Structure 1
Amino acid sequence: MTMPTGPSRTRMDDLTVERVLRVVEAIPPGQVAAYGEIGAIVDVGPRLVGRILRTWGSGVPWWRVTNASGDHPLLARALPHWEAEGIEVAPHGRGCRMARFGTDLAQLRVRARPALAELAGA
């Protein structure tokens, strides 16, 4: 995965926040995406994705966003959602197996495209 470079990776404005939240909304139930995968779609870094979710993510399925290894920093809070969606905790107990529950990045881009296009036209 090629990571974007330049000022857009760290810029947090209203449009960037909304773009991140809309990509998170596009992650299907029962699947997860890594901070960096979301960042690659929106052209920001994974830490900014995490900061946006920590600050404004309560209204979106935040439990579907993990680190690149599938670990979740708030696993205890995410667990009821994961159980309801069929996401299983990996044997190490810190998150899920990305190979099994990670969403396909190309498909996530396609699913997010209509919501992101609405923002471009605003």
Structure 2
Amino acid sequence: MEDLEFDDLTSMVLDCADLIPPGKVATYGDIAHIVGTGPRQVGRIMATAGQFTCWWRVVRSDGGSQVAEKACLKWAVEDIAFSQVSEAKVKMKQHRLTECELAALAVELAQAQP
């Protein structure tokens, strides 16, 4: 990502996604709260530039993903449990970052910004 130039918001969203540890997920709303925007903006950024980060760790609030078929492969590698009734959804109680973990992620992101 160092050779690419993104606007500040895009960079913050992608950096935030990079900070989500393996085996954990955050919602579009979680990321939006941290970077000071809305979940739809985070979704747009992830749809257009998410390939430059750990995109499978950012999910909808119900644990689903627009690219669930591809995400399932990544979730399985990271032992992220998911159900697959009508569509694959992460088991959020087990894998969503807690408020404390989100706060720590926000601090880490702030320290990483120039």
TM-score range, shorter chain: 0.7 to 0.9
Separation (CA, whole Å) in 2 of partners of 1:73 and 1:105: 24
Q: Is the 8 A contact 1:35 1:49 kept in 2?
A: yes
Which residue of 2 is the match for residue 113 of structure 1?
107
Which residue of 1 is the match for residue 92 of structure 2?
98
Which residue of 2 is the match for residue 71 of structure 1?
64
- What's the CA shift for 1:91? 4.6
Q: Answer 1 or 2: which has greater strand percent.
A: 2
Unaligned runs of 5+ in 1: 1-12
- What's the CA shift for 1:101? 1.0
Residues matched between the structures, number: 108
Off by >4 Å, runs of 4+ in structure 1: none
Separation (CA, whole Å) in 2 of partners of 1:87 and 1:109: 21
- What's the CA shift for 1:18? 0.8
RMSD over aligned Cα atoms:
1.6
Structure 2 length as normaliser, TM-score? Answer: 0.85
Corresponding residue SS for 1:90: strand
Unaligned runs of 5+ in 2: 1-5
Q: Is the 8 A contact 2:30 2:102 kept in 1?
A: no
Verify: 1:61 aligned to 2:61, yes or no. Answer: no
Structure 1 length as normaliser, TM-score? Answer: 0.80
Q: Is the 8 A contact 2:69 2:88 kept in 1?
A: no
